Structure 1
Amino acid sequence: MFACWGTVAHRFRSTSLILVLLTAVAGGVWGLGVFDRLGQGGYDDPASEAARADEIGDAALDAADADVMVLYTAPPGRTVDDPDMASKINVKLEALPRTEVGAVTSYWRTPVPDLAGQDKRVGLAVIGLAGDDPNAKLRSYEQISGELQVAGVPTQVAGEMPMQASLQERAKRDLALAEAVSMPIVLVLLVLIFGGVVAASLPVLVGGLAVFGSLGLLHLISLFTSVNVFAVNVASLLGLGLAIDYGLFIVGRYREELGQGRRGVEAVRRTVASAGRTVVFSSTLLIIALAGLLLFPQGFLRSLAYGGMSAVALAATISLTLLPALLGLLEHRVDALALPWHRKATEGTSEGRGFRQLADKVMKRPLLTAVPIVVALVILGAPFLHGRFGTPNEVMLPSGDPARQAVESLKRDFPAMSDKDVRIVLRGQGEAPPSPKDVERFQSEGTEIRGMQELRPAGARGAVVVFNATLEHDTYSDRSARAVQDLRGLTPPPGTEVLVGGPTAENLDSLRATSQRLPWMALLIVGATLVLMFLAFGSVLLPIKAVVVSALSLSATFGVLTGVFVDGHGAGPLGITPSPMEDGVLVLMASIVFGLSTDYEAFLLSRMVEARAGGASTAEAVRTGLGRTGRMISAAALLLIVVTGAFATSGILMMRFIGVGMVLALALDATVVRMVLVPALLRLLGDAAWWAPRPLRRSQAQVPIDEAGPAEDADEATRLTEPVECSAEITGPIAPVPHPAETTLPIAPAPRPIRRVAPAPRPAETTRPSTSVR
């Protein structure tokens, strides 16, 4: 199947090149409009109890939207009751365009105590913006953001829309900076890895087109559903990083084929049949892992799933179409502009002597090597068991950001507006509200809950009675969570539904929704990994080992992140404000890191299986596999670390969390885990690593995904330059020496004879000399 695709890609190389370039560029140009459609929010379960409490409570109180909250501080020696200050503020608020502003409530229009600080030094204006959705309201805010300052009166602007505007601007700026920093570094590293400018530029070209094209896909997605502002960053991170990695695999394998004397369609065919299969396996597994995010109700995760899946699919598609076409056009010129000391880089095979020696050392004492590593990974992952989780808030922004400082001032001067508030809704049956006696009893019982201050009546309408309360402890602390749970555990008045909302309740509901669906996501990812790896390698134990090792690597990464971002160890030098982790980001990272870990595992095992199919012992297969892929895996991880490391410098805490987490995961997985732990475990498993029950082996043999076998002679390579009917019948693993069908090896699938489709007979007069073999 993949050999067939390589033949087709080579035959139509010029057409493929033009079509891919035009599509990616046109899509990217159109996709620049996605930045005007990005939104914020979607971190909570819209069907949760907390969401219903807020919705019903707002309707009962006829609460106006509080999209923007402006804090006006009185000059020294004055208070907010100063007539001159009041006149200036009222004039400014009256001048706001009614096309952009729905409602304005301020202390100077409605002098209620809640709209002024306790010392009357700060007053508050609450603005509701025009617009039916967050994007429309954000555009309205952009129109008035410069009209809120009052001369001589210190002003701070807080609220959801200022936060969203700041996040969107920083996300766009961080994206541009990350790409500007990472791309030159990646190009330099690729030049050093490949030893030539032309070969190095190909993965960078693919990466750039993948990032550009992903904007077009996100713009298309935004026409049908809301797209979170972070979806662009995640899509760019995955598109750029994976496209470069895929380009590295494909170009590296093509140069290896050149080094073994193959040319033309044969080199492209074998490259796509081997490295192309790895790309398809990796992208398929990652897309399935990201599809697991669609199981969750949070719009934030669904948005990131759409962006991530599109970026991965695009990176793989460009790699499997554009690169074979370019390689077919360049042929041996792929090594043009080579560095002087690398001019003979393609001669011979790509065995890595250092990695073979490492494999030998590991396999001499496999148990002594594996046990300490497993213990260390478990210890590193232990802090995650005590991690705290919360909803994104102002700490996502840098400490010096004006929007964050405004929110912190709002919480300090107006505690009633802080996120410690709890909303309690009592809704009677039909139109009848609960009796005053029952309401009073419930209010008294709620006030007695430990960690909960007095329940304050907020208003009533129809059958609904609303209370507000303030928590005594931090919003996301265990004591606040217990207080909300105790409040929900109170016996409701007869015939009355009690709903508890507020940030703490929203966080609890979000965690509950995540924990309920997490096992299904794990089942999807693990099941897909086991099935795909079995189909690829024909072994039962290899996929199980891959899942266990990837889970250990992932848990260790999360443990280190918990120590830094939650517990604050080393947070100071990194400029991080310790805070609870966002559960949605952890789910996103789990899917990405697990997929990438299995990707490197598949690349490593593919060469081991090739060696095993060639008659090698388990030890020799491990030695050969690590020798042939160790350098490439290390290079791929290093390049992806550079790309993700650029995002670790982001001013947005969420993107920094993802960037640092990816760097940790990749560095750990591509070094200690894949280079040391995996060879040790395979040595301990011995020949059992390649075992599969006979019925499963026969089933796997029917799936036409094996790599194409080598040409047996120059005549075969010559014939392949002629028109050939591609067929799934071109099967059989690549091996140095093909085995006959009757050869029995302790590996599944058993090697099969290479069945080839012969070209149609040609008339004698059409015979031409074979010019395609150099």
Structure 2
Amino acid sequence: MLYRYGSLIHRRARLVLVIAVLLIAGAAVAGAGVFGRLQGGGFDDPGSESSKAQRLIDERFGGRANLVLLAHATGGSVDAPDAAAAGRDLAAALQREPGVRDVVSYWSAGVPDLRSADGADAIVLAHVDGDATQRRERAGQLIERYAADGPALHVRAGGETAVNLDVNGQVARSLAIAEAIAVPLTLLLLILVFGSVVSALLPLAIGGIAIAGTFAELTALGAVTDVSVFAINLTTALGLGLGIDYALLMVTRFREELGEDRPVAEALATTVATAGRTILFAAGTVATALTALLVFPLYFLRSFAYAGIGVVVIAALGALVVAPALLAVLGRRVNAWPVGRRRASRSAGTAFWARLAGAVMRRPALAALPVVLGLLVVASPLRHVAFGTPDEGVLRPGSAGRQVADRLATGFPSNQNASVDIVLTGPVDRDRLAAYAQQLSTLDDAALVTSSAGTFGHGTRAGEGNPALSRPTGERLTVASRLTAKSDAAQRLVRSIRSAPAPAEAYVGGVDAALIDTTHAIGARLPLGIAIVVLATFVLLFLFTGSVIQPLRALVLNVLGLSAIMGALVWIFQDGHLASWLRFTPRPMDTAMTVLMFVIVFGLSMDYEVFIIGRIAELHGQGMPTDEAVRTGLGRTGRIVSAAAALLAVSFFAFGTGTVSFLQMFGIGCGLAIVVDATLIRGVLVPAILRGLGRLNWYSPAPLRRLHATVALREA
């Protein structure tokens, strides 16, 4: 089937290219506005208690304060006449802004918690209305207008909207820098690999098609559902990498067939039938791994499924449709504009991987044991892994949002960023409400509980209530503490509040409650996600090889490699061993990003698995003994895999130059995983295990052999 398809592409190559150019141009136009359609959040479970609490606060109480203006008095005290006057003017001007409400300042409310312990700073709180995009746009305008240095006050902006704005801006700048690094390096590596400028440009073109097509897809999806802006990063790295990988496989096989003096039409048909089959299964393994992200309720993770599946499908289509058409038109001119000693380089690369496979198979245990032990040692930091969710800590200390958050956490009587929100639904008796607030104030680490029935601290009444916290449809309470947001103690306080008896149905929210709920949501669905990845991978690899042993062997090696990479990331980002070099603040592993890396790395590992085992199985199916098939197959594909891995790793490592720590973690983690997989796993452990298994490599029960013979897509 694929052979006939390759022949058809050869006959209709120019028509295919004309249609492709029109579609690509349309996709480029449609995807030009992708950044304006994407959101900056998506890290919370929308069905959780904390999310319900936030929705009730937005609907019934005017919303939680999401913009914080930190005012520093130039004269030393915020109570000085000129500072106080400037502070009142600041709050009044902010109150008049459209889309801004519930402005509260230290000078207007007189609440001591809104003034720093040393008296040098005070804060103004406000709620910015709108959806995520509207809040981002309004916050940008407000910050530009009010976050400035005046004669009496120096004002800096923080809070949720300011941090999201800062993170989005940092991501956009990091993406531009990463592309400026990755694209030239990728082109240089492609020229070195192929020894020909024309051959090098073909994979880069397919990578560009994958990115343009996925940008158009995300723009369309962003109009109908929430899509995270961070999906852009995956699109560029994975699109460029996979597009190049698949095109690299096609171009290399086409040149190999031409090297056997076959006519162009036959060479192209054979290339599509062999390399095309490998690409179909490789894309299938990556795409099915990414479908596991759809089981999670966080639209941050679901967005990566949308982007990832789209980019894999479009990259595969580019490699199976556009690349063959280009090869058909170029023919033997694919080797045009040679650079250096191409033939010698190709032969040297093939010989190296063949010699490596031969050396490993002569002493498989001696070669594999040090690698396995080394990977287990690198994985050992996983024993003390901790998980969290993104906040201002992902920004560098010099950013305004980070500076405001740090000052609120250390300089004020209570940390406004770590306050716990409670919403009681329905009318509540005033005496019962006061008793409930008083009871909450006695909990360990609770500093101040504010309600409409009174303000309480450590079991005693500390002040009058806030009437704005009462509605006919419910009551709102806030519990302030001196705890660091997202610390173990802060989470214990949330659990204590949730376990306390309430006078009505209660919903507990806030950043610490959201962390607890998000961790639970991911943990509860993680087994299903893993089951989808494992089952889909097993089925696809069985259909590809006809063996039940190969999928099991691939799964075991993937788990080993993934464990080592995750352990290395804990050592780097959680323990902070490279913090000064990479300029980030050590923090717990991001829960959602860790799941994302697991899925991405697992899929990419299977991508290279298919590249290598496909050629080995092809040679074995032609009658070659297993040892010789492994040596020859790795010799012919090892150079492709190492080149593909280097190209894809460059795309991911480029994100290490970013200024958002979880983006750095994602890029460095994926880059390390690709390098380890393409060298230690595929170069050493795969031939060692294949040698040890011998004839068992291709074992399958008789019913499954018959099933494979019936449904499997075979080599030409």
TM-score (norm 1): 0.85
1:232-251 to structure 2, matched below 5 A, reads: 232-251=232-251
Distance 1:341 1:57 in 2: 68
- Which residue in 1 is equivalent to 2:105? 106
1:408 to 402, 406, 409: 406
Task: Please tell me whether the aligned partners of residues 618 and 715 of structure 2 are also in contact (alpha carbons under 8 angstroms).
Answer: no
1:316-335 to structure 2, matched below 5 A, reads: 316-335=316-335
Judged with a 3 Å threshold, the aligned counterparts in structure 2 of structure 1 residues 65 and 470 are, in CA distance, closer, same or farther, namely: closer
Distance 2:573 2:631 in 1: 39
**What amino acid maps onto 1:538 in structure 2?**
G
- Which residue in 1 is equivalent to 2:465? none
Distance 1:81 1:292 in 2: 56
Judged with a 3 Å threshold, the aligned counterparts in structure 2 of structure 1 residues 623 and 415 are, in CA distance, closer, same or farther, namely: farther
Distance 2:140 2:221 in 1: 24
Distance 1:485 1:100 in 2: 34
Task: Please tell me whether the aligned partners of residues 57 and 64 of structure 2 are also in contact (alpha carbons under 8 angstroms).
Answer: no
Judged with a 3 Å threshold, the aligned counterparts in structure 2 of structure 1 residues 389 and 433 are, in CA distance, closer, same or farther, namely: farther
Task: For residue 4 of structure 1, report the CA deviation from its aligned partner.
Answer: 2.7
1:624-643 to structure 2, matched below 5 A, reads: 624-643=632-651
**What amino acid maps onto 1:319 in structure 2?**
A
Task: Please tell me whether the aligned partners of residues 65 and 129 of structure 1 are also in contact (alpha carbons under 8 angstroms).
Answer: no
1:456 to 449, 464, 469: 449
Distance 2:274 2:378 in 1: 36
- Which residue in 1 is equivalent to 2:355? 357
1:147 to 136, 142, 145: 145
Distance 1:659 1:549 in 2: 22
**What amino acid maps onto 2:110 in structure 1?**
P
Distance 2:712 2:228 in 1: 39
Does 1:677 find its partner at 2:685?
A: yes
Task: Please tell me whether the aligned partners of residues 600 and 670 of structure 1 are also in contact (alpha carbons under 8 angstroms).
Answer: yes
Does 1:254 find its partner at 2:254?
A: yes
Q: Is 43-52 or 473-482 further displaced after alignment?
A: 473-482
- Which residue in 2 is equivalent to 1:759? none
Does 1:125 find its partner at 2:130?
A: no
2:545 to 537, 553, 578: 537
**What amino acid maps onto 2:533 in structure 1?**
I
SS in 1 for 2:103: strand
Judged with a 3 Å threshold, the aligned counterparts in structure 2 of structure 1 residues 106 and 142 are, in CA distance, closer, same or farther, namely: same
* RMSD (CA atoms): 2.5
1:476 to 479, 486, 493: 486
Task: Please tell me whether the aligned partners of residues 246 and 316 of structure 1 are also in contact (alpha carbons under 8 angstroms).
Answer: yes
Task: For residue 674 of structure 1, report the CA deviation from its aligned partner.
Answer: 0.7
Judged with a 3 Å threshold, the aligned counterparts in structure 2 of structure 1 residues 521 and 365 are, in CA distance, closer, same or farther, namely: same
**What amino acid maps onto 1:106 in structure 2?**
S
Task: For residue 498 of structure 1, report the CA deviation from its aligned partner.
Answer: 4.4
Distance 2:93 2:424 in 1: 40
Does 1:377 find its partner at 2:370?
A: no
Distance 2:376 2:169 in 1: 39
- Which residue in 2 is equivalent to 1:215? 215
Q: Is 43-52 or 369-378 further displaced after alignment?
A: 369-378
1:491-510 to structure 2, matched below 5 A, reads: 492=501, 496-510=504-518
Which whole-Å deviations, capped at 9, do the CAs of 1:29-62 have from their partners, x for residues lacking one? 33121212222111111111222334446666x2
Task: For residue 327 of structure 1, report the CA deviation from its aligned partner.
Answer: 0.2
**What amino acid maps onto 1:678 in structure 2?**
V
**What amino acid maps onto 2:525 in structure 1?**
R
Higher helix share: 2
If you compute each CA radius of gyration, which structure gives the higher value, 1 or 2?
1
Distance 1:281 1:322 in 2: 18
SS in 2 for 1:39: coil
Distance 1:9 1:80 in 2: 75
- Which residue in 2 is equivalent to 1:703? 711
Judged with a 3 Å threshold, the aligned counterparts in structure 2 of structure 1 residues 90 and 505 are, in CA distance, closer, same or farther, namely: closer
Q: Is 380-389 or 332-341 further displaced after alignment?
A: 380-389
- Which residue in 1 is equivalent to 2:72? 73
2:579 to 571, 574, 581: 571
Distance 1:103 1:351 in 2: 67
Q: How many residues align?
A: 696
Distance 2:714 2:646 in 1: 29
Judged with a 3 Å threshold, the aligned counterparts in structure 2 of structure 1 residues 357 and 157 are, in CA distance, closer, same or farther, namely: same
Task: Please tell me whether the aligned partners of residues 117 and 413 of structure 2 are also in contact (alpha carbons under 8 angstroms).
Answer: no
TM-score (norm 2): 0.92
Task: Please tell me whether the aligned partners of residues 203 and 245 of structure 2 are also in contact (alpha carbons under 8 angstroms).
Answer: yes
**What amino acid maps onto 2:180 in structure 1?**
A
Structure 2: stretches of 5+ with no match in the other structure: 453-469
Which whole-Å deviations, capped at 9, do the CAs of 1:737-774 have from their partners, x for residues lacking one? xxxxxxxxxxxxxxxxxxxxxxxxxxxxxxxxxxxxxx
- Which residue in 2 is equivalent to 1:561? 569
1:447 to 409, 425, 442: 442
Which whole-Å deviations, capped at 9, do the CAs of 1:205-244 have from their partners, x for residues lacking one? 1112322332222111111112212111111111111111
Task: For residue 204 of structure 1, report the CA deviation from its aligned partner.
Answer: 1.1
Task: For residue 283 of structure 1, report the CA deviation from its aligned partner.
Answer: 1.6
Task: For residue 94 of structure 1, report the CA deviation from its aligned partner.
Answer: 4.6
Task: For residue 643 of structure 1, report the CA deviation from its aligned partner.
Answer: 1.0
Task: For residue 615 of structure 1, report the CA deviation from its aligned partner.
Answer: 1.5
Distance 1:167 1:391 in 2: 14
Which whole-Å deviations, capped at 9, do the CAs of 1:318-368 have from their partners, x for residues lacking one? 12111101000000000011124226878xx89822222211211122223
Task: Please tell me whether the aligned partners of residues 117 and 411 of structure 2 are also in contact (alpha carbons under 8 angstroms).
Answer: yes
- Which residue in 1 is equivalent to 2:168? 168
- Which residue in 2 is equivalent to 1:586? 594
Judged with a 3 Å threshold, the aligned counterparts in structure 2 of structure 1 residues 83 and 474 are, in CA distance, closer, same or farther, namely: closer
Distance 2:363 2:442 in 1: 64
Distance 2:280 2:303 in 1: 23
**What amino acid maps onto 1:402 in structure 2?**
A
Distance 2:123 2:493 in 1: 30
Task: For residue 64 of structure 1, report the CA deviation from its aligned partner.
Answer: 4.5
- Which residue in 2 is equivalent to 1:517? 525
Instruction: Give % identity.
Output: 40
Task: For residue 416 of structure 1, report the CA deviation from its aligned partner.
Answer: 3.4
Judged with a 3 Å threshold, the aligned counterparts in structure 2 of structure 1 residues 414 and 310 are, in CA distance, closer, same or farther, namely: farther
Task: Please tell me whether the aligned partners of residues 74 and 121 of structure 1 are also in contact (alpha carbons under 8 angstroms).
Answer: yes
**What amino acid maps onto 2:302 in structure 1?**
R
Distance 2:563 2:72 in 1: 48
Distance 1:159 1:622 in 2: 57
- Which residue in 1 is equivalent to 2:495? 485
Distance 1:85 1:351 in 2: 71
Task: For residue 483 of structure 1, report the CA deviation from its aligned partner.
Answer: 4.4
Task: For residue 123 of structure 1, report the CA deviation from its aligned partner.
Answer: 2.2
Judged with a 3 Å threshold, the aligned counterparts in structure 2 of structure 1 residues 89 and 483 are, in CA distance, closer, same or farther, namely: closer
Judged with a 3 Å threshold, the aligned counterparts in structure 2 of structure 1 residues 224 and 707 are, in CA distance, closer, same or farther, namely: same
- Which residue in 2 is equivalent to 1:49? 49
SS in 2 for 1:124: strand
2:603 to 588, 591, 595: 595
Distance 1:661 1:28 in 2: 30
Task: Please tell me whether the aligned partners of residues 197 and 336 of structure 1 are also in contact (alpha carbons under 8 angstroms).
Answer: yes
1:186-225 to structure 2, matched below 5 A, reads: 186-225=186-225
Task: For residue 470 of structure 1, report the CA deviation from its aligned partner.
Answer: 4.6
Task: Please tell me whether the aligned partners of residues 187 and 204 of structure 1 are also in contact (alpha carbons under 8 angstroms).
Answer: yes
Distance 1:276 1:705 in 2: 11
Distance 1:506 1:92 in 2: 31
**What amino acid maps onto 2:531 in structure 1?**
L
SS in 2 for 1:339: coil
Task: Please tell me whether the aligned partners of residues 100 and 141 of structure 1 are also in contact (alpha carbons under 8 angstroms).
Answer: no
Judged with a 3 Å threshold, the aligned counterparts in structure 2 of structure 1 residues 610 and 351 are, in CA distance, closer, same or farther, namely: farther
Q: Is 140-149 or 687-696 further displaced after alignment?
A: 140-149
SS in 2 for 1:227: coil
Q: Is 403-412 or 109-118 further displaced after alignment?
A: 109-118
Judged with a 3 Å threshold, the aligned counterparts in structure 2 of structure 1 residues 611 and 318 are, in CA distance, closer, same or farther, namely: same
Judged with a 3 Å threshold, the aligned counterparts in structure 2 of structure 1 residues 461 and 235 are, in CA distance, closer, same or farther, namely: same
Task: Please tell me whether the aligned partners of residues 30 and 216 of structure 2 are also in contact (alpha carbons under 8 angstroms).
Answer: yes
Task: For residue 93 of structure 1, report the CA deviation from its aligned partner.
Answer: 5.1
Distance 1:344 1:66 in 2: 66
Distance 2:301 2:567 in 1: 22
Distance 1:664 1:44 in 2: 28
Distance 1:3 1:418 in 2: 66
Task: For residue 393 of structure 1, report the CA deviation from its aligned partner.
Answer: 0.6
Task: Please tell me whether the aligned partners of residues 422 and 507 of structure 2 are also in contact (alpha carbons under 8 angstroms).
Answer: yes
